[in-house]
């Protein structure tokens, strides 16, 4: 068996183990029938690549759904391409498709639930991984490709900036692309909800633990300083094509009104 991948959350670890710290954390969960494991070779035998447009950005994932089910996004700039978030599934079709578009100059991940097989991706594209240092403890497979950053913002290339909002995880991060009318790539740090007219903020989604009001207030203030019209969430079809800035601010105000009401 290759390096173990948790079948519930998708995290790849450097060596065999019985527990998955990500799943045992209160933001995730351990299956009732216990922890199950797979590896990348088995995933490739049971799944296939999915590459399709997601609101003008290439979405990358697999079918059938695996683990949490997020998809990655290829964020393109004049300075090069950055992979936003990560999926456990990676194969030659995905590598070829990305290389045909210019490869990667970096990989940035919103929070530990999406670290998955990030080292496989980093090595496949010889690209550095940008992770916030506040989430260092959750890395399952240490590697020199990881570049931890600190503070509130980190510019990957001109016009492409990571912002630490601290929602969901202490290192919870979004990616802002300043070109055009601006775009925000949020993972589920800022969660796109089904009607696309609001977003949500949670400490734990499966366990329904709300995020602390002070954290959401700070996040809203940081995002209010940015210009963005569109917002891309973590899963297929979670795209707000226009009006996203106002939606985020309105949603934060609604959230704070409910959680602070006595």
Rounded distance between C-alpha atoms, residue 50 and residue 45, angstroms: 15
- Sequence-distant (6+) residues with CB within 8 A of 147 are 128, 129, 130, 131
Walk along the chain (262 residues) and give the pLDDT tens digit of each residue. 799 999 999 999 999 999 999 999 999 999 999 999 999 999 999 999 999 999 999 999 999 999 999 999 999 999 999 999 999 999 999 999 999 999 999 999 999 999 999 999 999 999 999 999 999 999 999 999 999 999 999 999 999 999 999 999 999 999 999 999 999 999 999 999 998 999 999 999 999 999 999 999 999 999 999 999 999 999 999 999 999 999 999 999 999 999 997 5
How many domains are there within the chain? Answer: 1
pTM (2 d.p.): 0.97
Q: What share of the chain is helix, strand, coil (3-state, %, to 5)?
A: 25, 30, 45
Q: Could you tell me the CATH number of the domain that includes residue 78?
A: 3.60.15.10
Rounded distance between C-alpha atoms, residue 34 and residue 102, angstroms: 41
Rounded distance between C-alpha atoms, residue 137 and residue 168, angstroms: 15
- Is the Cβ–Cβ distance between 85 and 187 less than 8 Å? yes
Which domain, by its residues, includes 156?
A: 5-260
Report helix, strand or coil for 17.
coil
Report helix, strand or coil for 221.
helix
In sequence order, the β-bridge partners of residue 175 are: 162, 185
């Amino acid at each position: 068996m290759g390096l173990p991948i948790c079948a519930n959350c998708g995290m790849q670890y450097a060596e065999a183990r019985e527990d998955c710290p990500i799943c045992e954390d209160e933001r995730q969960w351990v299956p009732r029938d216990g922890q199950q494991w797979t590896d990348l070779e088995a995933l490739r035998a049971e799944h296939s690549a999915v590459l399709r447009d997601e609101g003008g950005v290439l979405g990358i994932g697999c079918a059938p759904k695996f683990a949490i089910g997020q998809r990655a996004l290829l964020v393109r700039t004049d300075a090069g391409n950055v992979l936003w978030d990560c999926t456990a599934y990676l194969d030659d079709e995905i590598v070829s498709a990305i290389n045909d578009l210019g490869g990667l100059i970096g990989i940035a991940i919103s929070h530990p639930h999406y670290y998955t097989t990030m080292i496989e991706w980093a090595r496949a594209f010889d690209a550095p991984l940008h992770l916030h240092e506040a989430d260092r403890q959750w890395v399952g497979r240490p590697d020199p490709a990881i570049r931890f950053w600190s503070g509130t913002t980190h510019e990957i290339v001109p016009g492409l900036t990571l912002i630490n909002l601290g929602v969901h995880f202490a290192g919870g991060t979004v990616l802002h692309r300043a070109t055009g009318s601006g775009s925000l790539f949020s993972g589920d740090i800022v969660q796109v909800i089904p009607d696309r007219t609001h977003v949500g903020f949670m400490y734990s989604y499966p366990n329904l633990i709300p995020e602390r009001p002070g954290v959401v207030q700070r996040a809203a203030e940081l995002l209010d300083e940015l210009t963005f019209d569109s917002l891309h969430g973590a899963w297929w079809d979670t795209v707000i094509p226009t009006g996203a800035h106002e939606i985020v601010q309105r949603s934060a105000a609604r959230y704070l009104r409910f959680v602070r009401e006595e």
